[in-house]
Structure 1
Amino acid sequence: MRSEVALLSAAFTPIYVGIVFLGFTPDHRCQSPGVAQLSQRCGWSLAEELNYTVPGLGAADETFLHQCMQYDVDWNQTSLDCVDPLSSLGANRSHLPLSPCQHGWVYDMPGSSIVTEFNLVCAHSWMLDLFQSAVNVGFFAGAVGIGYLADRFGRKLCLLTTIFINATSGVLMAFSPNYAWMLVFRLIQGLVSKAGWLIGYILITEFVGLGYRRTVGIFYQVAFTIGLLVLAGVAYALPHWRWLQLTVTLPNFCFLLYFWCIPESPRWLISQNKNAKAMKIIKHIAKKNGKSVPASLQSLRADEEAGKKLNPSFLDLVRTPQIRKHTLILMYNW
């Protein structure tokens, strides 16, 4: 059961660090139809074409020039020859006028990324930062709200809901027609993916006793590390970002099978005055583990005899000195 839930941690990897592959920014330069025609007429190699037509090439401190600027030259004029064509316009290239890229960019990479497809470079490079900021904002909002929702409606329901929304939005992102829609679906993924990851962590720690919580927590994190290794291999095999996004998203639909594989948390059921259901699950777990039900749990009263169920509240985070200390420590860590 713990290994099944740990798969959630591995599947969370593409959302957490997928920007490394989805938003990869290769070396690029301005695209110019005139340069392409002149290069074809003169029979230049790629190195010669770059040397003759790209400003600031080879200078480490002038990366912006060769990636985002072009010579403001009419490359179709007949006075340009094939041997250092700019020499006829000035003795020093640094004095020639420059202009931003007018016809898009040429990217030095196989495949594609969201950067190359939507041209998120130069003046639009901030849009790549916004893409990652959107998922991080979703992480924050989802992590803050999911604790209350999981306490209010149950771990299992919230887990299945976040899995479905995460998988659906991930697929829709792979088919996004433009940057705006891609950003919306990425924000939705951020809202539910971190929340689902946290619910998975809660579930595996609530299924085991206090002495095993550290062990299963480490196991959950190890699964995340394995996900990193798998993601690198998949990204190498699929250099096109849409196929990569689709490939790492579709397996999430398989987690909907948890409806039949994963029971509700017995601890949550007990807190909601559903002792009969909790005891049924506890006895099943004990039978699978070859253990007997602890005496402290055998004394649980039936639902109709139990006390009032616990209603969650954000005030629970600061209700006692011990909880206040833990809350402040976790807030500081975040």
Structure 2
Amino acid sequence: MKEIGEFGRFQKQPFFVLCLLSATFTPIYVGVVFFGFTPEHRCFSPGVAELSQRCGWSLAEQLNHTVPEWGGHGTTFGSRCRRYNVDWNATGLSCTDPLGSLAGNRSSVPLSPCRDGWLYDYPGTSLVTEFNLVCEDSWKLDLFQSCVNAGFFIGSMVIGYMADRFGRKLCLLITVLINSVSGVLVAFAPSYTWAVVFRLVQGLVSKEGWLTGYVLTAEFVGLSFRKTVGVIYQLAFTVGLLIFTAVAYVLQHWRWLQLAVTLPNFFFLLYYWCLSESPRWLITQKQNDKAMEVIKRIAKGNKKQLPLSFQYLKSEDDDGEKLKPSFLDLVRTPQIRKHTCILMYSW
């Protein structure tokens, strides 16, 4: 790399497009903040709207007369998850004190769960408002994000092995394709269950695609630039966070937001023509001819002259076995054991 350019023009172009991949990973990592936004909500009570219209109440008056006080009647759910168990269509209800005209004392009016759904003070939609993931079902929103994290965990081991076994470029393209398709399916999920399933699939491949892009950037540059490209690659994630926040501000309907942040991923399939396989990986797989083709393209792109001694890449064990990846590689030498332990502790 010192001879053909550690971070020249040839490396900067693929590095830029890989940074775009890093930026689009944000919605999967923190998207639940917007997709699963929980607005202020209250039980829907049949007849309240008609009574409010007849009495000419403002919204504040309607809430005061028809919604239980937070934490009242010894319940831990409060007004968001309980309603007064009364018939608001009953005749003779007072507009000044409707509950008093029924029971004489508001505290004696029985409460019941929200059998008829909820009303949300939000102009858009989210997973919470569409599938009513509140009160007794609020745990389902946590499950939605936990499935993504479970996918990260499983996929990191499986896809990481595949990248070492079958190549970085192939692995990247496969994860991009699956991530794009599953992201679209999330946007069109007919139910909460299907949304969780498709989100789990996204978790299985999305972070692993991001990590594979990170590996490619590190293996295409010289040692002195590895820290720089690593930091910039993660800065691209932060830029993606800012852009995602702006898009979420404009698109307040979670399905449209999901589509808006997913469709650009299909353009990353063009990496098939834009990216080369890692020459370092090709050498470990004894594919020296292909590695030399990549090295020559790097030298030509950086306008460097390939030294004569590098014209033919040879190795003493060309006819030996390919280096096969193994989880034991993480602890095989004292130096790598130290790095593995440090990184595990940091995470």
* TM-score bucket (shorter structure): over 0.9
**1:117 maps to which residue?**
130
**2:180 maps to which residue?**
167
Counterpart CA distance in 1 for 2:286 and 2:316 is 6
- Aligned pair in 2 of structure 1 residues 16, 297: CA closer, same or farther (>3 Å)? farther
**1:316 maps to which residue?**
329
- Aligned pair in 2 of structure 1 residues 80, 294: CA closer, same or farther (>3 Å)? farther
Q: Which of these residues, 290, 300, 306, is aligned with residue 287 of structure 1? A: 300
* 8 Å CA contact 2:71, 2:77 repeated in 1: no
- Aligned pair in 2 of structure 1 residues 95, 150: CA closer, same or farther (>3 Å)? same
Paired residue type of 1:203: L
**1:157 maps to which residue?**
170
The one-character-per-residue Cα deviations of 1:159-210 (angstroms, maximum 9, x if unpaired) are 0000000000000110000001000000000000000000000000000011
Paired residue type of 2:282: L
Counterpart CA distance in 2 for 1:252 and 1:20 is 20
* 8 Å CA contact 1:51, 1:57 repeated in 2: no
* 8 Å CA contact 1:176, 1:182 repeated in 2: yes
Paired residue type of 1:86: L
Q: Which of these residues, 54, 67, 71, is aligned with residue 54 of structure 1? A: 67
Counterpart CA distance in 2 for 1:298 and 1:71 is 84
Secondary structure of the residue that 1:112 maps to in structure 2?
Answer: coil
Map 1:162-311 → 2, pairs under 5 A? 162-293=175-306, 298=311, 300-301=313-314, 305=318, 307-311=320-324
Task: Give the TM-score normalised by the residue count of structure 1.
Answer: 0.95
Structure 1: 5+ residue stretches without partners: none
Q: Which of these residues, 100, 124, 131, is aligned with residue 113 of structure 2? A: 100
Paired residue type of 1:126: W
* 8 Å CA contact 2:292, 2:312 repeated in 1: no
Paired residue type of 1:158: C
When structure 1 is superposed on structure 2, of 73-82 and 260-269 the one drifting more is 73-82
Paired residue type of 1:169: S
Higher relative CO (CA 8 A, sep ≥ 6), structure 1 or 2?
2
1:330 corresponds to 2:343: yes
Structure 2: 5+ residue stretches without partners: 1-13
When structure 1 is superposed on structure 2, of 293-302 and 112-121 the one drifting more is 293-302
When structure 1 is superposed on structure 2, of 207-216 and 69-78 the one drifting more is 69-78
Report the CA distance between 1:90 and its aligned residue.
3.8
Secondary structure of the residue that 1:161 maps to in structure 2?
Answer: helix
Counterpart CA distance in 2 for 1:305 and 1:318 is 26
Secondary structure of the residue that 2:47 maps to in structure 1?
Answer: helix
* 8 Å CA contact 1:274, 1:303 repeated in 2: no
Counterpart CA distance in 2 for 1:255 and 1:311 is 28
* 8 Å CA contact 1:273, 1:303 repeated in 2: no
- Aligned pair in 2 of structure 1 residues 309, 49: CA closer, same or farther (>3 Å)? same
The one-character-per-residue Cα deviations of 1:268-324 (angstroms, maximum 9, x if unpaired) are 000000111111111111221233446885562179945432111111111111111
Report the CA distance between 1:91 and its aligned residue.
4.5
When structure 1 is superposed on structure 2, of 31-40 and 120-129 the one drifting more is 31-40
Q: How many residues align?
A: 333
**1:139 maps to which residue?**
152
- Aligned pair in 2 of structure 1 residues 294, 115: CA closer, same or farther (>3 Å)? farther
* 8 Å CA contact 2:124, 2:253 repeated in 1: yes
**1:33 maps to which residue?**
46
Secondary structure of the residue that 1:78 maps to in structure 2?
Answer: coil
Q: Which of these residues, 30, 34, 37, is aligned with residue 24 of structure 1? A: 37
Counterpart CA distance in 1 for 2:236 and 2:331 is 32
Counterpart CA distance in 2 for 1:187 and 1:295 is 51
Secondary structure of the residue that 2:325 maps to in structure 1?
Answer: coil
Task: Give the TM-score normalised by the residue count of structure 2.
Answer: 0.91
Report the CA distance between 1:135 and its aligned residue.
0.3
* 8 Å CA contact 1:276, 1:303 repeated in 2: no
**1:82 maps to which residue?**
95
When structure 1 is superposed on structure 2, of 7-16 and 320-329 the one drifting more is 320-329
* 8 Å CA contact 1:276, 1:302 repeated in 2: no
* 8 Å CA contact 1:146, 1:195 repeated in 2: yes
Report the CA distance between 1:8 and its aligned residue.
0.9
Counterpart CA distance in 1 for 2:44 and 2:64 is 15
The one-character-per-residue Cα deviations of 1:147-168 (angstroms, maximum 9, x if unpaired) are 2110100000000000000000
